[in-house]
Amino acid sequence: HSDLDSDQVSAALPPALETDGSRAARKDEHVDLALGQQGDGAAHNEFDDLDFVHQALDGVDAERVDLGVGIAFGAGPQHAAGEWHWETPFYVNGMTGGTDRTTRINRELAIAARETGLPMASGSVSVALDDPNAARGFAVIRAENPDGFVMANLGVGRPASDAPRAVELLGANALQIHVNAVQETAMPEGSRDFSSWISSVEQLAAASPVPVVVKEVGFGLSRSALRHLSDIGVGIADVGGRGGTDFLRIENARRSAGEYAMLAGFGQSALASLLDAPRNAPTLLASGGVRTPFDVVKALAAGAQAVGVAGAFLAAIGSDGASGGAERLIALVDDWKLRTRAVYALLGAVTRDDLLATDVILRGRLREFCADRGVN
Ligand code: FNR
């Protein structure tokens, strides 16, 4: 029963609480509230709790660096096993679509993804599956970027038949399924029923014609969660950790009193999730609180194959999706590529796999978490 849209819940609630109008309003509110948090972009998060040991004589030439990564996935009922090759180890994570404003934002994001070759996910498409008028707000992603790598996004709890519909809407290469129990808990119109989620993920994955990526929206995936995903055959997981765009704060801001503000700080960071991952985890992607290319490299060194960025890229586009946003994001992404390459060279890494051999030091809350979990 979930979604950043909570569509399933709507039937059980008085119509006034969940009309299409309020659902659309929520999309715009999410954008404004998320952008409001970007102001504290330099704020401490657990990426600051990981340091590399500097090796003064072990660097390599930046021009030798290969930023490409391979994202391996197993076979599903509807698709063969395989591996995607992405030229850049970061991607535009799932955000929005469906209203006029968020359609403009998606267009600018898609143009930037096309021009920079970045993979890109849509926001939850359920609004478009329920209301064909909203479909254009997502179809624009594929229209602007016919050959790029596109992921459609859907919430756990949706009927299995929505998986192929979501993929078709975007001509998607992958399907992100988001799990967001903390957000649902804080959301006024959110679900409180989570016991069917594993079987829902399993059914959506089985019905998807393309590989699925199960993602959290900012509270992390634990060792046990990753084991569950492996057990049901999910090939890829985005640990979506705490420390970036904070949906607890966003939902608290959307209610008159912040009843669930008490949960502040709940969940695990992306780095904590990566370090806690079991040996048999799905292929790991990471996101949540990525502010700079240095954060990208830290997540890769901690075990991610690629890193998702939402808030920081949305900030470059701007809240109204006015034209010019794509140019700003293209410039930012080009700069991130350059600086990612420079940091690889500094760390002596020609490829992402070389980053796994770096020496790191953990501090603060991240160190405490790892000590407690027996991670070394
Ligand atoms: C999101 N996010 C999100 N995730 C998802 O799976 N489906 C969705 O529809 C949305 N919607 C959404 C809207 C907006 C405006 C933002 C900023 C984010 C969550 C996103 O993919 C990511 O997990 C978090 O934002 C954490 O990453 P950042 O923002 O710290 O880089």
pLDDT tens across 116-130, in order? 999 999 999 999 999
337 confidence band (pLDDT: 50, 70, 90): very high
Give 229's Cβ-side CA count (13 Å radius).
Answer: 31
Q: Check if 97 has its Cβ closer than 6 Å to any atom of ligand 1.
A: no
Which pLDDT band holds residue 340 (cuts at 50, 70, 90)? very high
pLDDT value at position 179? Answer: 98
Rounded percentage of the chain residues whose pLDDT exceeds 70:
94
Which range has the top average pLDDT, 21-35, 182-196, 254-268?
182-196
Determine contact, residues 294/259, Cβ cutoff 8 Å: no
Determine the distance separating the centroid of ligand 1 and the alpha carbon of 31, expressed in angstroms.
9
CB 178 less than 6 A from any atom of ligand 1: yes
CA distance 326 to 313: 10
Instruction: Give me 167's structure tokens.
Output: 């993929």
C-beta atoms surrounding 335 within 10 Å:
11
- pLDDT for 61-91, tens place per residue? 999 999 999 999 999 999 999 999 999 999 9
Closest by CA to 192, choosing from 17, 4, 9, 22, is 9
Mean of the per-residue pLDDT values of the chain? 93
- Determine the residue of 37, 93, 118 to mutate for testing ligand 1's pocket, defined as the one with the most ligand atoms within 8 A of the Cβ atom: 93
Going by C-alpha positions, the residue among 314, 309, 274, 317 that lies closest to residue 292 is: 309
In the annotated binding site for Mg(2+), the residues are 184
pLDDT value at residue 8: 44
Pairing of strands 174-179, 212-216: parallel
| Residue predicted with more confidence, 11 or 213 | 213
* Rounded Cα–Cα distance for residues 326 and 33 (Å): 21
Is 312 in contact with 290 (CB distance < 8 Å)? Answer: yes
Q: Is the CB of 290 under 6 A from ligand 1?
A: yes
Specify the residue with its C-alpha closest to ligand 1, atom 22.
217
- pLDDT confidence tier of residue 6, bands split at 50, 70 and 90: low
For the chain, the distance separating the N- and C-terminal CA atoms, rounded to the nearest angstrom, is 36
Whether 286 lines ligand 1, by a CB cut-off of 6 Å, is no
Confidence class for position 59, pLDDT limits 50, 70, 90: very high
Q: Is 215 in the pocket of ligand 1 (CB under 6 A)?
A: yes
221 lines ligand 1 (CB under 6 A): no
Nearest-CA residue for atom 5 of ligand 1: 94
Model confidence at 24, in pLDDT bands (50, 70, 90)? confident
Phi and psi at 14, nearest 5°, equal -55, 140
Atom number of ligand 1 nearest to Cα 33: 15
| Binding-site annotation, residues | 26-27, 94-96, 124, 153, 183-184, 215, 245, 289-291, 310-311
46, 90, 95, best to mutate for ligand 1 pocket (most atoms within 8 Å of CB): 95
**What distance in angstroms lies between residue 217's CA and the mean position of ligand 1's atoms?**
6
Query: Residue 372: what are its φ and ψ, rounded to 5°?
Result: -65, -30
pLDDT of residue 21: 66
The response to whether residue 31 sits with its C-beta less than 6 Å from ligand 1 reads yes
Q: Is residue 190 over pLDDT 80? A: yes
pLDDT score for 11: 36
Q: Whose CA is nearest to atom 11 of ligand 1?
A: 95
pLDDT recorded at residue 40: 59
Q: Residue 41 has what pLDDT?
A: 57
Pick the closest to residue 102 from 32, 150, 164, 154 (CA basis).
32
List pLDDT tens digits, range 270-313.
999 999 999 999 999 999 999 999 999 999 999 999 999 999 99
Say what the pLDDT of residue 15 is: 34
* pLDDT for 14 beyond 50: no
Give the residue among 15, 50, 14 at the shortest CA–CA distance from 364: 50
For residue 201, how far is its CA from the centre of ligand 1 (angstroms)? 19
pLDDT of residue 17: 41
The closest alpha carbon to 224, from 268, 254, 162, belongs to: 268
- For residue 244, how far is its CA from the centre of ligand 1 (angstroms)? 9
Query: CA geometry: angle at 241 spanning 88 and 145, to 5°?
Result: 35
Averaged over 321-327, what is the pLDDT?
Answer: 95
CA distance 341 to 7: 42
